[in-house]
Amino acid sequence: MELSQVKEKQIFKEKRSYRKKYYIETYGCQMNVADSELIEAMLENEGYIVSNDPWKSDVIFINTCSIREKAEEKIHSQLGRWDLIKKQKPEILIGVLGCMAQNLKQDLLENRPFVDIVLGPDSYRNLPTLLKRKLKDRNSIVDTKLSRFEVYEGLFPNRRNGINAWISIMRGCDKFCTFCIVPFTRGRERSRSLDSILFEAKQAIKDGFREITLLGQNVNSYNYNQYKFHNLLERVAKIPGVDRIRYTSPHPQDITDDLLQVMSQYDNISNYIHLPLQSGNNRILKRMHRSYTQNDFLVLVEKIRENLPGVGISTDIIVGFPGETEEEFLDTIYVMEKVKFDSAFTFKYSPRLGTKAYEYDDQISENIKKCRLEKIIKLQKEHSLIRNSKLLGTIQTILVEKESKMSKKQWAGRTDSNKWVIFDKGNVNVNDLVKVDIKDAKGISLRGELINEVKAA
Ligand code: SAH
Ligand code: SF4
Ligand code: F3S
């Protein structure tokens, strides 16, 4: 290395050591992941650099989730550890962001005096200003106001992984399911402009991303001027270079015929729908304030499968919602048997203070919830195997996403219908779209053999 280069490197290192470092830890759903990317971009604009060690950082953030008690417990124990950092490094700034900040600001301030900044999901735009203010003023700063308008227009995220770009298209929820905290932590539904979403998607493709995931608490309630979700999806599908589009989380109520039509027309829209059932019983569904009946749901699944052959369907199920009798629980089993979902996220009902269901006086015991959960987990395993084995002997198009956790010699990627497949690396790379022959479907992931590369990245 030449002397001048050595000097340059030294200067760079010194400059880097003057710059403040941030650390951010993200919990909860993809919306939080996308929000953290937005926050990272704002901090880096201000000259901060990322660090992977909270002990070596100047400011550390935790982006939180309130969806279930367990999620909040995780945050509390992490904050307990951060209290130790603060004790040894009093100059460090600690920020609590996201859904829990919104919901628990009082508790955080009273019981966690070492927290410097508490910001709800609609207040991130102020972060750089607040950080500057905080350097002068040691009082805690709290901003958890929810906005009817904030969609972070004009702010773009700092993406790292290089395969999938999360693009948030709408925020908030107006559905008020009686078990759910989200409408309170995230506020009212609002959609971003079509143009700014398309701009961001095109930019992601220019930056080398092959897959785009559109995000929203109720992603298919997207509504901007005359544009509905299917209009937006079609426009994104037409962007040259987009190999795969996913979206999450949709609500069954807004799976329209137009949406199914657009999905069937474009090969680059993932043939996959997440369709949260929650419960299979009509009384419970009504009490949950879900807007469909068991029959509506079954008819919808049939329609989806008719329109989208080979579609992957996953779901969310809650057991032990207040008042759920054994018979009513069996209706959930009935729907699972009828549909045979490809996969399911299954939860015990967790009472959330401030929601309607929290007030119900017929809460179900932990034991019963546990027992019901075990039953549906076991059943879902059987169904996933049945669904996966339908792919045996077929050739699937896989986007290579990462190295397999099991072996350095294998890749992991997903099928069009959102199933993980593991296969020997061959001469392909991450971000390539490849053809794989499915040979085994016994485990959680499928196993396959690489056939050829479809398109170079
Ligand atoms: N908007 C999405 C869901 C977002 S929350 C939808 O309506 O489908 C993700 C999942 O968490 C929900 O589908 C639900 O199954 C689960 N969930 C939400 N609140 C819960 C609670 N209080 N207890 C247990 N599970 C809950
Ligand atoms: Fe929660 Fe229901 Fe809104 Fe989904 S639709 S975020 S479950 S209130
Ligand atoms: Fe959790 Fe908030 Fe997402 S409560 S699931 S981080 S919207």
Tokens of 83: 């209290």
pLDDT of residue 457: 45
Contact 210, 399 (CB under 8 A): yes
Asked if residue 103 has its Cβ within 6 Å of ligand 1, the reply is: no
Tokens of 445: 């992931």
**Phi, psi (rounded to 5 degrees) for 432:** -80, 150
Tokens of 366: 């932990």
Atom number in ligand 3 closest to CA 63: 6
Structure confidence by residue, pLDDT tens digits, 339-397: 999 999 999 999 999 999 999 999 999 999 999 999 999 999 999 999 999 999 999 99
Average of per-residue pLDDT across 309-329 = 98
Question: Is pLDDT of 29 > 60?
Answer: yes
Nearest listed ligand to the Cα of residue 249:
1
Structure confidence by residue, pLDDT tens digits, 103-149: 778 888 788 888 999 999 999 998 999 998 887 777 788 889 999 99
Residue in 451, 404, 408, 454 with CA at minimum distance from that of residue 432: 454
Tokens of 32: 């939080």
How many angstroms separate the alpha carbon of residue 336 from the centre of ligand 1?
17
Atom number in ligand 3 closest to CA 100: 4
pLDDT of residue 18: 75
How many angstroms separate the alpha carbon of residue 222 from the centre of ligand 2?
14
Tokens of 185: 């932590």
Contact 433, 398 (CB under 8 A): yes
- Out of 182, 249, 358, mutate this one to test ligand 2's pocket (max ligand atoms within 8 Å of CB): namely 182
Question: Is pLDDT of 1 > 80?
Answer: no
- Out of 29, 66, 67, 275, mutate this one to test ligand 1's pocket (max ligand atoms within 8 Å of CB): namely 67
- What is the distance in angstroms between the CA of the first residue and the CA of the last residue of the chain? 33
> Which residue's C-alpha comes closest to atom 1 of ligand 3?
65
Asked if residue 217 has its Cβ within 6 Å of ligand 1, the reply is: yes
The 10 Å Cβ neighbour count of residue 425 is 16
Structure confidence by residue, pLDDT tens digits, 264-316: 999 999 999 999 999 999 999 999 999 999 999 999 999 999 999 999 999 99
Is pLDDT larger for residue 19 or for residue 290?
Answer: 290
Question: Is pLDDT of 73 > 60?
Answer: yes
Structure confidence by residue, pLDDT tens digits, 341-350: 999 999 999 9
Average pLDDT score, the chain: 93
Nearest listed ligand to the Cα of residue 348:
1
**What 8-state DSSP symbol labels residue 269?**
B
- Parallel, antiparallel or unpaired: strands 420-424 and 343-348: unpaired
Residue in 127, 143, 118 with CA at minimum distance from that of residue 64: 118
How many angstroms separate the alpha carbon of residue 174 from the centre of ligand 3?
15
Helix (H, G, I), strand (E, B) or coil at 52: coil
User: CA 92: distance to chain centroid?
Assistant: 29
Atom number in ligand 3 closest to CA 181: 4
In single-letter form, the type of residue at position 212 comes to I
Structure confidence by residue, pLDDT tens digits, 220-249: 999 999 999 999 999 999 999 999 999 999
Is pLDDT larger for residue 117 or for residue 456?
Answer: 117
Tokens of 146: 């929810």
pLDDT of residue 456: 46
Atom number in ligand 3 closest to CA 99: 2
pLDDT of residue 96: 95
